Chain A
């Protein structure tokens, strides 16, 4: 085997090694915290008090915030995203679809800090006025911005799933005298169901992991929010806001890594479910 081939093999193994290393390293930094933690109050408690003595670290409020904002982004984004993908894959002439796919790809590149800035200056004041709130920096505003941000992921994956349906299915359907509308909803969309579910899950994974937008727009209150119209802080924003201020190996440092490990585990689970949905469909088909 020439040495160049050995080098690319090493590069390939690096990917696997790196993924394992990141998970293990974050887990190792979180371990001192979980070792001291005898009950589940880390997940069920509402108090995050890093500087009081003794300090308390409980993340229910951040988990609930992440859940609320993600749910809102996905619920708002999904119908629009999937209908857009159907338009791209089935309705528009090919050259128009090609162009619009590039436009979607471009919008995926708008940095999240730019979205956060727009949320802060445009969306939050608007939300405050419409809903008559003291501050527009709420989970609602963050969810609204995130629903736009997940669209490119959602549309491109859903579009891909729809286009992967063999052309013969549609042709067989048309041969039976159906309209385009019937063919889309009775044949193509059901055939692409697995891929569409995976697209929604992966968009959800993106929304959970999104950091800058929620840090800037969601408001930053540390306790469990009672409704989406309150200021809140998702788990990603907690980590970004506090980690550089925590002294190394302090309790807060380890607690933040514990929060990071929880976030990591959630996104891995969402990805694994999406992969299983796609994989399961392949075996069935």
Chain B
């Protein structure tokens, strides 16, 4: 391809620059502002005085618990559904309906998942405002992402692998579990990691299903209420006039760092696998 650009083409490249500039500037600005508020105490201490002094340890731990709970639910169901769609689903109207449901589930706003989680898990099933309710709600929110990642990863495995396995006398399930699924494993795991980074940053769902602002202790079980980074940021920024600004920026910085580490490691891992694969 020619590497010189005409004037109108440079205009297009300018638009690309304009699209990339705000998010990159935002990330940089947040990290610079956050630096003033970050200290070992801020990350590893319990909060005190309604969060105005002390640290945010329970919010960090709460977010990690949420991710753990979400993974426990979404990984088996999401990967199972992805395997079904890629390997076993017959080409018929019912499968088409299932695909449509998947697309629609992916488009549902997170606040609607929160509404459902509140009415169903918190109130109807009586789980209350708890890690359990919030994890289940986040699992539903991330389910379409995990299903899609699994299906795409399995579609990326050449059909000849499957056929070779079947030709050796394997059953369909043996072909999937010993050949195609292991080949697709890294794609599935990176997709899941990306989905979980969404869950880590989501606020609308947990705001409705059980996050608390000030709980100076770590969650003890899945029935506990919990602090979480995004909710902590929301309340500090909007409801607490006395909160020192550098603490709010530091909270934003920690949340952004966590989410970006998940995103970047997923992306790098995927690129590495892509280079290593011979098919």
| A264 lies within 8 A of B207 (CB) | no
Is B203 a contact partner of A111 (Cβ separation < 8 A)?
A: yes
Is A244's CB within 8 Å of the partner chain B? yes
Taking CB atoms and an 8 Å cut-off, the chain B residues in 122-175 that contact chain A are 123, 140, 143-144, 147, 171-173
A181 touches B97 (CB 8 A): no
Chain A residues whose C-beta falls within 8 Å of the C-beta of B109 in the assembled complex: 208-211, 236, 263-264, 267
Q: Taking the complex as formed, is B104 at the interface, i.e. its CB lies under 8 A from any CB of chain A?
A: yes
Instruction: Report the minimal beta-carbon distance from A11 to chain B, rounded to whole angstroms.
Output: 3
Residues of B within 8 A of A109 (CB): 194, 197-198, 201, 259-260, 262-263
A260 within 8 Å of B by Cβ? yes
Distance in angstroms between the alpha carbons of A88 and B17 in the assembled complex: 11
Please give, as numbers and ranges, the residues of chain A lying within 8 Å of B252 by CB-CB distance: 114, 117
Distance between A223 CB and nearest chain B CB, rounded to angstroms: 21
A195 to chain B, nearest CB (A): 15
Least CB distance, A36 to chain B, in whole angstroms: 19
**A18 touching B111 by the CB < 8 A rule?**
no
Assembled-state Cα–Cα distance A271/B140 (Å): 18
- CB pair A260 B115 closer than 8 Å: yes
Cβ of A107 under 8 Å from chain B: yes
Tier of interface size on chain B: 35 or more
Interchain CB contact under 8 A, B143 and A18: yes
Q: Does A22 reach chain B (CB closer than 8 Å)?
A: yes
Contact in complex: B201, A110 (CB < 8 Å):
yes
**Would A148 and B111 count as touching, CB distance under 8 A?**
no
In the bound complex, what is the Cα–Cα distance between A114 and B200 (angstroms)? 12
Chain A residues in 8 Å Cβ range of B245: 121
- CB interface residues, A 48-84, toward B, < 8 Å: 79-81, 83-84
CA gap between A15 and B99 in the complex, in Å: 9
Residues from chain B with Cβ under 8 Å of A115 in the complex: 26
* A228-B23 Cα distance, complex, nearest whole Å: 24
Shortest Cβ distance from B251 into A: residue: A117
Cβ of A139 < 8 Å from any Cβ of B? Answer: no
Residue of B13, B114, B259, B260 near A91 (CB, 8 A) is B13
A: number of interface residues (CB 8 Å): 84
Whether B12 sits at the interface, judged by CB under 8 Å, is yes
A174–B114 alpha-carbon span in the complex (Å): 52
* Closest-CB distance, B177 to chain A (whole angstroms): 7
Q: For residue B152, give the distance in angstroms from its CB to the closest CB of chain A.
A: 12
> Given contacts A83-B16, A104-B20, A109-B263, is CB(A267)–CB(B81) below 8 Å?
no
Chain A residues within 8 Å of B22, by CB: 148
Please give the residue numbers on chain A whose beta carbons come within 8 Å of chain B beta carbons, in ascending order: 2, 4-5, 7-16, 18-20, 22, 25-26, 29, 79-81, 83-84, 86-88, 91-93, 98, 100, 102-107, 109-118, 120-122, 148, 151-152, 155, 179-181, 202, 205, 208-212, 216, 236, 239-240, 243-244, 248, 256-257, 260, 263-264, 267-268, 270-272, 275
Q: Given A18-B105, A243-B208, A267-B107, 18 other A-B contacts at CB below 8 A?
A: A4-B173, A15-B81, A18-B101, A19-B104, A19-B105, A87-B12, A87-B16, A88-B16, A102-B271, A107-B23, A110-B259, A111-B255, A113-B203, A180-B2, A209-B110, A240-B208, A263-B111, A270-B107
A-B contact pairs, 20 of them (CB 8 A): A2-B173, A4-B177, A7-B80, A9-B84, A11-B83, A12-B85, A19-B102, A83-B15, A84-B15, A102-B271, A106-B264, A111-B259, A113-B255, A114-B233, A121-B245, A151-B23, A216-B234, A236-B109, A236-B111, A275-B100
